[in-house]
Amino acid sequence: MNKPVVLRGYSFSVYNRIARVSLHEKGVSYETEEIDPFADSVPLRYMQRQPFGRVPVLSHGTFDVYETVAIGRYTDAAFDGPRLVPLDAESLTRLAQTVSIIDTYGYRPMVRQVFAHRVFRPAVGEAGDISEIENGLAASQTVLKALETLAAEAYVLNKQTFTLADCHLAPMIAYFVQAPEGKAVLSDYAALSDWWEWASQRASVKETDPGLPQNRTT
């Protein structure tokens, strides 16, 4: 009998969606458990699985894994389906570089500043902070420029082979472009815009769109 696969996370989390995209790409059936990491208290049983209180965590039988990069690597290695990690040295390296750029420099300005303050907070009836949006847009430029170079070089983000780099970037850009200013900024980067046009049509990306919450807080 197959071991159960459970993704524990928050529907509106960009990292949760990254994990979901990789599971969809591999054709893995999974259950979900909703954990809101922004709630006043995160359940103790979840903290035992993720000591930093972030989401998501993937459980496969008794094997738990947290950190979305590791979840993607596990998903690729543990399940049948198309490979999400390239084999050649250059593409493998560019994949790691892309994901690291997104996590280290991209998530905060693109998601926590631009998307959260321009789109998410207003959707739940909270005021966004204009200075957060402006600072996020400014910081996003360097990130998009770096990703543009990687997309133009095309070892990854190449509109042909869907890898963990695509899994990681698509949910971030999907949120960023919901802000009109984010959409405008992205259009300055030709290779990245072409990539997004392609990636946004991918079934795994479309099927994992969480939409926007109603009367929720972030």
Ligand X SMILES: N[C@@H](CCC(=O)N[C@@H](CS)C(=O)NCC(=O)O)C(=O)O
Q: Give me the residues that bind ligand X (CB under 6 A), please.
A: 13-15, 37-38, 53-55, 67-69
Q: How far is the CB of 154 from ligand X (least distance, A)?
A: 25
Q: Which two tokens stand for residue 147?
A: 């990703």
User: Considering beta carbons, is residue 103 or 194 the nearer one to ligand X?
Assistant: 103
User: Considering beta carbons, is residue 55 or 167 the nearer one to ligand X?
Assistant: 55
Q: How far is the CB of 160 from ligand X (least distance, A)?
A: 26
- Calculated CA dihedral for residues 142, 201, 115, 56, nearest 10 degrees: -100
Q: How far is the CB of 97 from ligand X (least distance, A)?
A: 16
User: Considering beta carbons, is residue 20 or 191 the nearer one to ligand X?
Assistant: 20
User: Considering beta carbons, is residue 21 or 191 the nearer one to ligand X?
Assistant: 21
Q: How far is the CB of 112 from ligand X (least distance, A)?
A: 8
